[in-house]
């Protein structure tokens, strides 16, 4: 597992607050019910990170990066992060 360094001068509480804020933003930008709708529409055979056309289409619809879309799909359980 890769260790990430905390920003210099950043406390653990600040880091946890930033993580929580990022998760809130993801939920706001990509509501679970909308993600579910598009997963059913674009990824009928499941989500394959290697064949990412469905992920690209959803990222475009939500106007977010593919990386952020993947993180949201992981958070919602559509992608196993140990993939």
Structure tokens of 52? Answer: 């990412």
Could you list the pLDDT tens digit for every one of the 83 residues in the chain?
344 455 667 788 888 898 898 889 889 999 999 999 988 887 777 776 666 788 899 999 999 999 899 899 999 998 877 65
pTM for this structure?
0.72
Backbone φ, ψ for residue 29 (5° rounding)? -75, -30
Structure tokens of 78? Answer: 């559509």
CA angle, 47 then 45 then 81, to 5°:
20
């Amino acid at each position: 597992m890769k260790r990430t360094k905390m920003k210099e001068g950043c406390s653990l509480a600040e880091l946890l607050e930033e993580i929580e804020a990022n998760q809130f933003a993801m939920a706001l930008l990509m509501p679970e019910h909308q993600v579910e709708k598009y997963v059913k529409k674009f990824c009928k055979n499941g989500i394959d990170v290697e064949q990412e056309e469905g992920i690209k289409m959803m990222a475009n619809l939500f106007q977010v990066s593919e990386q952020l879309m993947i993180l949201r799909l992981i958070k919602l359980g559509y992608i196993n992060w140990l993939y």
